[in-house]
Amino acid sequence: MFRVEFKVFRSSFSSWEALFKESAEFASTLPTDRLISISHSEDQNEGVVCVWYWTEAEPPAPETE
């Protein structure tokens, strides 16, 4: 079973190039079949990049009575 996870990279001080490089380096560590997407946005001079990817889901915890 898989689940979707994400990692956010944000900065109001780094350049877009530095922010994209950091997020690309992280995305490059993922198996290619696990990478879903990379998105970006800007709000009030803060750059945000989000890497979306699949991970193995944790098995459900046993129910306790």
pLDDT in tens, 40-56: 999 888 999 999 999 99
CATH number at residue 30: 3.30.1070
pLDDT at 1 exceeding the cut of 90: no
Q: Quick check: is 49 in a domain? A: yes
Q: Quick check: is 30 in a domain? A: yes
| Number of domains into which the chain is organized | 1
**Angstrom distance (rounded) from CA 61 to CA 59:** 6
Angle of CA points 46, 6, 29, to nearest 5°:
100
By residue range, what is the domain housing residue 51? 2-56
15 contacts 55 by C-beta, under 8 angstroms? no
Q: Quick check: is 45 in a domain? A: yes
Query: pLDDT tens, 24-37?
Result: 999 999 999 999 99
